[in-house]
Amino acid sequence: MSEVLGPEFVRRLLRLAIRVRRAFAGRMQGERRSTKRGVSVEFADFREYVAGDDPRYLDWNAAARMDRLYLKLYVEEEDLSVHFLLDASASMEFGTPSKLDFAKRVTAALAYVGLANLDRVTVVPFAEEKGAVLGPERGRAQVFKLLGFLEGVAASGRTSLTGTVRQFLARTPRRGPIFVVSDLLDPAGYEKPLAMLRHAGFQPMVVHVMAPEELDPRDADDVRYVDAETGAGVDLSMSRSVLKAYRARVDAFRKDAEGWCRKRDIPYAFASSDQDLEEFVLKSLRVLMLEV
């Protein structure tokens, strides 16, 4: 994982921040503007003085004009909580390179953007069985801990996005943007858990990853396909008509996921696992999920 964040890529990532579509409460001063009013360097507004307010921030010019005491208010900058749900189920091991490898690299890049902006970053790999969780971590110094953690994430077990979201919400984490990095191949569906996150006050963002072999399988005669998570198999004769029908179903699956997210104002980006990481992050994700 250490080669994921090369010097030039890091330099470009440092110019970016996680895009926030609503206000979230921070925990301590950072580099993110908050709608709360406190003491900082940028004037925001003023209000009438009440007993107990700090007199150091009285606006004496306003008091002289209006014959009343007013306080100067400033924009308070706070950190943001940024979460990642990283699909580590067995199906993510498929592909060359594997979907999990690409998903971990995307997570590393996006998490670094959060760390560089003094956001609090949490990474939750998910499958049927609950695994270790990283964070919350804060600051660029934690990047090696992040990369080491991601290096140890391996694909195993069945997908359980709904169960993962329930466990995640049960820990009552601080609200903020949450990236779901997954192939979305959950028999129970992706719609309910994404809706749960929105209803709980989070800002879901979906990075949908599939393997090139899934998108366009090679021609073959008789093939046996085995489900990586259940072990169930099916025998197929891969005729031209079967391949055509398969590709249509995959295309429909992608379009349905994107359409469902768009209708609910959930940013959605799709990538093949053999796609160039820097191009994907700096072009596709920058438009939807990142800001300069």
**pTM for the full model?**
0.80
Q: For position 36, what pLDDT does the model report?
A: 44
Residues 6+ apart with CB under 8 A from 110: 18, 82, 84, 179, 281, 285, 289, 290
Residues counted in the chain: 292
Tokens of 280: 């994907």
- Whether the CB-CB separation of 32 and 25 falls below 8 Å is answered with no
How many helices (H) and strands (E) are present in the chain, helices listed first?
10, 12
**Residue 71: strand pairing partners:** 47, 58
Residues 6+ apart with CB under 8 A from 138: 79, 115, 118, 119, 120, 121
Q: For position 256, what pLDDT does the model report?
A: 97
Q: For position 246, what pLDDT does the model report?
A: 84
Q: What share of the chain is helix, strand, coil (3-state, %, to 5)?
A: 40, 30, 35
How do the domains of the chain map onto residue ranges? 7-22+80-291, 29-78
CATH of domain 7-22+80-291: 3.40.50.410
Q: How many CB atoms within 10 Å of residue 152? A: 11
Rounded to 5 degrees, what are φ and ψ at 178? -140, 120
Residues of the chain under the 70 pLDDT cut: 1-3, 23, 25-47, 49-54, 72-78, 128-130, 219-237
Q: How far is Cα 245 from Cα 11, in angstroms, rounded to an integer? A: 44
Task: Tell me the pLDDT tens digit for each residue of 193-240.
Answer: 999 999 999 999 999 999 999 998 876 666 666 555 555 556 566 778
**Torsion angle of alpha carbons 26, 22, 33, 53, nearest 10°?**
-70
Q: For position 47, what pLDDT does the model report?
A: 66
Q: For position 34, what pLDDT does the model report?
A: 45
**Residue 33: strand pairing partners:** 77
In order, the DSSP letters of 224-273 are EEE-TTT--EEEEE--HHHHHHHHHHHHHHHHHHHHHHHHTT--EEEEET
In order, the DSSP letters of 11-31 are HHHTT-EE--SS----SSEEE
CA dihedral sign of residues 175, 177, 181, 187: positive
Whole-angstrom CA distances from 219 to 86, 203, 239, 254, 273 are 32, 41, 8, 22, 20
Q: For position 113, what pLDDT does the model report?
A: 95
